[in-house]
Chains A and B, each alone.
Chain A
Amino acid sequence: MWRGAAGRTAPPLRPPQNRNLFVTELVAGVSHGSVYALIALGYSMVYGILKLLNFAHGDVYMVGSFIGFGIITVFGGPLNLHVSVWLMLFLMFFCAMLGGGLLGVMIERFAYRRLRNAPRIAPLITALGVSFFLENAAQLVLGAQYQSYNAFSWTNSAIALKHFGLPAHAVISYAQVIVVVGAVVLMVFLTLFVQRTQLGKAMRATSFDREAAAMMGIDVDRVIVATFFIGSALAGAAGVFNGIAYQQVWPYMGFQAGLYAFIAAVVGGIGNLPGAVLGGLVIGLAQAFSIGYLSSTFSDAIVFAILIAVMIARPSGLLGRAAVQKV
């Protein structure tokens, strides 16, 4: 029931014509990792400010993916678009990011805000409840079956890499290029925002010490709402990227992806934005290579092993600083 009728088999992750395993897995890992990194950024931002593991974040990603799917459905059926592809791409990202962001803000306002000073376990359980509610509400409204972004099957046509001096049979798809480039663009924007703007500065201050920031006149509520909006908008964009690259969307996709992104955030150092990106890449590559060289069953086990290893060797993550507990 939980995995749907298709069982636990993942949708096909890469075009079948790829022959050179290493490059194929490298590309698949990087593009998967970019999606994880975008989701992980939202986790990390929220955790940095509220110290809350927002389990519902993966489901915001799912909702973003379905918003993109809705736009495709509105503007013509599969392979038969009534508008220019670029306009549609823009609309998909715009609506998914806006919708995801608003959903994130609503979740914060109605589920988490009252629990800000509660014992830590209370918001965690609420987050579980929100995630469970969103998944099942999506199943009620959208149906449990897979939906396909097949208006975008042109994106799977390959770019031959011969011209770049890579092995002969290695092939990457347009979709993967779009995902990686788009993710990098969004990350650059996020970095500029956090480093250069006043609100970004307020975010950094709030994440460093919420009480002190409030005393300095920062409107902490506003910062938290902005954080949820931006983090969730990134997740919405990640949902559309995922749809473009791997075609399939369904109501339970958020849970698995959210979990991987989570681990990415922890591996990189939770609360640390470059760490989230690094963690996303590490997890994406680890998953891709273990699927390619070992077996798809054990890719979960490999990722779990990485998580445990990082937690034992560097409990604060690869790029995180050791937290000093204050009394």
Chain B
Amino acid sequence: MTEPTDPSTPRVGVDEWVASHEGRRAHRAGVAGRVERELARVPRPAFYLAFGAVAALLPAFTSNGYTIRVGFDTLLYMLLALGLNITVGYAGLLDLGYIAFYGFGAYGYAMLASPKFGVHWDTLAVIPVVVVATAILGLLVALPSRRLLGDYLAIVTLFFGQLFVTVYQNGEAMSVLGFTKKYDVTGGPNGIPNIDNFNAFGFHVGSLQAYYYVALAVFLAVLAAVYLVDRSRTGRAWRSLREDPLAAELMGIPVNRLKLVAFACGAAIAGLAGTMFAALNTAVFAADFDVPTLIIVYAMLILGGAGSIGGVILGAVVVNVSLEVLRTPGHATWVFFVLLAATLVARMRPWRWVAVVLGGTIAFGFAVHAIVSAVWPRGVHGQAAVGGILGSGLRHWVVLPSNPMTIGNVAFVCLVLAVLGVTLLHGRLQKLALVPTLYLAIFVWENRLAVEPSVTRLILVGVILIVLMNARPQGLLGTSRVEIV
């Protein structure tokens, strides 16, 4: 907050617009606003340390291998999102070949520490080599498009990512432009198996717990580095070129060089994450580094808020844990209903409408169920995706055809159209239209989406990107930008 000054005499050396920046930000009123302001006064590193402490306790609470594995994956995703955050969040470059650098790191580790070529380097030697090589690769990819608009960079990197997968997937018989003998470089679709574990300072990292702690330590170290860079001269320059490259150049900031540096930094972090991926999985396949992984990392970054380190952590946890939960239809159904209710409560004002819509949906459901069971008895003989109380309740409420394939697919298309239609309506009409749409959503969920989790998760990731960009482009933790006048 600015100190009260006499408005007629500007203070010397202070830009009034910048000084009053905080005052013009929209703040929430009431208790929520006060909590927000108090939290904003806690220095950021305290949050990161708290996160590190909580994360370090995870293996102490559970010895379940699956949970720790999910934790490790989440840490890897966090690391990936952190690197992407530099390129996309700080420097504003759309890097769509990011996952190729991840794959390059993984394959790099695999080639230097596996029986494939009989090379077994020490981990402490492999990692720097791989990280530097990935950074150089990043530089080479970004170089041709350095003078061009961001769109061209997006195309070049997207195609580079595709090229990476093609070449590595077909790399079992590579020759130099068809002139030399054919060499097996990447193992082709079989990948590279039997990769060595991490092995440094005489310690042999063998167990899942150990990998978890290695990943946590690496993540915190990178986090600290990124935090410091963000607050440095370079970090400020990145943000300025993201906001307005032309103005930044006029201020004497070496825009092209900083873009390349940001790109290489992101690539290096992805390469580092790749080495850990390869070491824990003990095998790498090119198909792991294709577009779906890229989109998932983007969803994490966007959900948390591009440009915010805390957002990266939050986004990776939320997206990865929800994608894991989706694998079990029973859990996923609970989460789905809780989310539907939470969205209604959060978005609908006044709250009595929530009760009206929910009550209307329940009544509507019973009516539809009664009609369908009278007209078409086979339409209610299917199985709910969830057991227990919820499942037996749903059986009397949702229409569950014994063969839901075709009707479910038609309903899915109708659902998409209905949701789009609802966004066009206003006021009471919208709330009325919400009742059948909700029922349709639950119908589609129970009959199609919950039973095919592998596709559903990818559909949901796409939806997250579209909805967030339209509704809240700054994500959960990012700050909305102050409009420049």
| A residues less than 8 Å from B96 (CB atoms) | 128
Complex contact A136–B455 (CB within 8 A): yes
Assuming the contacts A1-B454, A259-B159, A262-B155, asked whether A137 and B291 have C-beta atoms less than 8 A apart, the reply is no
| A residues less than 8 Å from B160 (CB atoms) | 304
| A residues less than 8 Å from B458 (CB atoms) | 132, 136
Complex contact A122–B178 (CB within 8 A): no
In angstroms, how far is the closest chain B Cβ from the Cβ of A67?
A: 13
In the complex, whether B234 has a CB less than 8 A from a CB of chain A is no
| B residues less than 8 Å from A114 (CB atoms) | 470
In the complex, whether B420 has a CB less than 8 A from a CB of chain A is yes
In the complex, whether B393 has a CB less than 8 A from a CB of chain A is no
Complex contact B416–A304 (CB within 8 A): no
What is the number of residues of chain B that contact chain A, defined by CB distance less than 8 Å? 60
In the complex, whether A90 has a CB less than 8 A from a CB of chain B is no
The answer, among A132, A141, A297, A325, for a CB contact under 8 Å with B167, is A297
Q: Is the interface of A mostly helix, strand, loop or mixed?
A: helix
Complex alpha-carbon distance, A255 and B159, angstroms: 11
Complex alpha-carbon distance, A140 and B452, angstroms: 8
Most interface-central of B92, B158, B423, B452 (chain A CB within 10 A):
B158
In the complex, whether B209 has a CB less than 8 A from a CB of chain A is no
Complex contact B246–A263 (CB within 8 A): no
| A residues less than 8 Å from B155 (CB atoms) | 53, 262-263, 266, 307
In the complex, whether B346 has a CB less than 8 A from a CB of chain A is no
Residue of B nearest to A139 (CB): B455
| A residues less than 8 Å from B463 (CB atoms) | 129, 133
Assuming the contacts A2-B291, A8-B170, A301-B163, asked whether A115 and B246 have C-beta atoms less than 8 A apart, the reply is no
Complex contact A2–B466 (CB within 8 A): no
The answer, among A133, A137, A266, for a CB contact under 8 Å with B152, is A266
In the complex, whether A106 has a CB less than 8 A from a CB of chain B is yes
Complex contact B473–A7 (CB within 8 A): no
Counting contact residues on chain A (CB < 8 A from B), the size range is: 35 or more
Complex contact A126–B469 (CB within 8 A): yes
Complex contact A120–B150 (CB within 8 A): yes
In the complex, whether A74 has a CB less than 8 A from a CB of chain B is no
Complex contact B246–A327 (CB within 8 A): yes
Interface string of B52-71 (1 = CB under 8 A from A): 00000000000000000000
The answer, among A53, A128, A259, for a CB contact under 8 Å with B298, is A128
| B residues less than 8 Å from A51 (CB atoms) | 151
The answer, among B174, B189, B298, B412, for a CB contact under 8 Å with A125, is B298
The answer, among B169, B189, B409, B420, for a CB contact under 8 Å with A141, is B409
Complex contact B455–A111 (CB within 8 A): no
Most interface-central of A7, A106, A311, A327 (chain B CB within 10 A):
A311
What are 16 pairs between A and B in contact, CB < 8 Å? A2-B291, A2-B292, A114-B470, A120-B150, A121-B92, A124-B150, A126-B466, A132-B465, A133-B462, A134-B462, A136-B455, A141-B412, A301-B166, A308-B144, A311-B144, A312-B144
